[in-house]
Copies of this chain bind each other. A is one copy, B any other.
């Protein structure tokens, strides 16, 4: 008799393509690794429901309405917190820290933060989210290309070749050689 199998639980939703990848790999390995694989069907909507980005996305919505030129930088600083340094993005001070790192003054950032509970900002975020759903989004990101009076929706971040093709442009990998902006 070999050692007792170790228990692995796999929580998944069939709507999640990465769940499928994990599922197939673990199904292939369960005998090789001698694991007791417990499949746990779960609801991704239930998991994302309280996922904690509401304030951050309302803040970005306020930025897009009042200081659109700052939106790229503030977005990046929030990603740096949550996905690079594993820091919180749900608390007011976390959001203020990201905004200041992006170059906003404390005063400016505080002013925007006060606006995230206004109907204006709340409704704008709802409208944008509904717009994404209308384009057929079932997850994020989606990119919507408006070309020759038509719209093309691309899901995810791994269809850049297709986007380049639609645009009639060249895909040069995720880090294109630095060239000057066209005049």
Contact = CB atoms under 8 A, between A and B. Distances in A.
B11 A142 contact: yes
A99 interface: no
Interface in A77-123: 78-79, 82-83, 89
B60 A14 contact: yes
Nearest to A1: B183
| Interface magnitude class on chain A | 35 or more
Contacts of A35: 167
A33 B169 contact: yes
Nearest to A142: B11
A8 B146 contact: yes
Contact of A42 (B29, B31, B33, B128): B128
Interface of A: 2, 6-29, 31-35, 39-54, 56-57, 60-61, 64, 71-72, 75-76, 78-79, 82-83, 89, 125-126, 128-133, 135, 137-147, 156-158, 160, 163-164, 167, 169, 172, 174-176, 179-183
